[in-house]
Amino acid sequence: MEFPAALVNALRQAQRVSALTGAGVSQESGLRTFRDAQDGLWAQFRPEDLATPQAFQRNPKLVWDWYAWRRAKVREAKPNAAHLSLVELARLVPHFILITQNVDGLHQAAGSPRVIELHGNIRRVRCSVCGKPHSEWDESEAEVPRCNTCGGLLRPDVVWFGESLPASELDTAFEAARNSQIFFSIGTSGVVQPAASLAYYAKQNGALVVEINAEPTPLTPSADFSFQGKAGEVLPALVKVTFSKQ
């Protein structure tokens, strides 16, 4: 795979690099993106209709079961070459910040030292009323498990459509975008706000914006470099070309 010398040289010299990842990064680990059709039991539902506070209010059991099914898939999944390249970048770049919209925890499983999770993590569960985190709950029950303190229904610790993002993560992400010399947008359709603004904000503040995605996105025309392909192929190739001994 060929990469422009301007990008390779910039990456080799950069002190501050950030990357924003989306569901496309986990696609090669066998996890579906939201834009892929769902399979099996869940094919009749749109994710956008399940990942909302209204859906949980209307039918908590349906939403809980969908997340339980996704959680099981996530636990079976293994990090892929894209996740591992991002671990490498954290080692090779003096200041590297990884920001993800993914809720699957695969960056941490791969060994990324610090991950800014904008949309929470499906492996964690908290009370929908008092917020108390729960590390154990009974998955076999016919009803949605309840909080052992206030009796409220438990829910996944993720950000649903219409909910606000965790403030400190969001601040850290915008600060990273502002300070970056290179900003990667990888495997994200760039339509879910406010994460989608990060790349533009980085560019306004002088970063080179590099997109790696399976297909063009709204960001593509604004990116300084755009690579259409699989994250698990493009990213390892770029890291190798940039950092292997010349």
Ramachandran sector of residue 40 (left: φ over 0; alpha: ψ -120 to 50; beta: rest): left
Choose, from 83, 95, 119, 134, the residue flagged as catalytic. Answer: 119
Report how far residue 217's alpha carbon sits from residue 187's, in angstroms, rounded to the nearest whole number. 10
Is residue 188 within 8 Å of 23, Cβ to Cβ? yes
Residue 147 contacts which entry, Zn ion, ligand NAD, none (Cβ below 5-8 A, type-dependent): Zn ion
Name residues whose C-beta falls within 8 Å of residue 244's C-beta, 6 or more positions apart in sequence: none
- Segment 108-127, which members bind ligand NAD (CB under 6 A)? 119
- Residue corresponding to tokens 């729960």: 134
Told to check if 69 binds ligand NAD by CB under 6 A, we report no
Residue 68 contacts which entry, ligand NAD, Zn ion, none (Cβ below 5-8 A, type-dependent): none
Is residue 54 within 8 Å of 135, Cβ to Cβ? no
Told to check if 85 binds ligand NAD by CB under 6 A, we report no
Residues lying near Zn ion in the complex (CB under 5 A) are found at: 127, 129-130, 132, 147, 149-150, 152
Single-letter residue type at 151 = G
Tell me the β-bridge partners of 127: 154
Give yes or no: 95 in active site. no
Q: Which of 79, 160, 230, 242 binds ligand NAD (CB under 6 A)?
A: 230
Q: Which are the catalytic amino acids? A: 119
Q: Which residues bind ligand NAD (CB under 6 A)?
A: 22-24, 26-28, 31, 33-35, 101-104, 119, 187-189, 192, 213-215, 217, 230-231
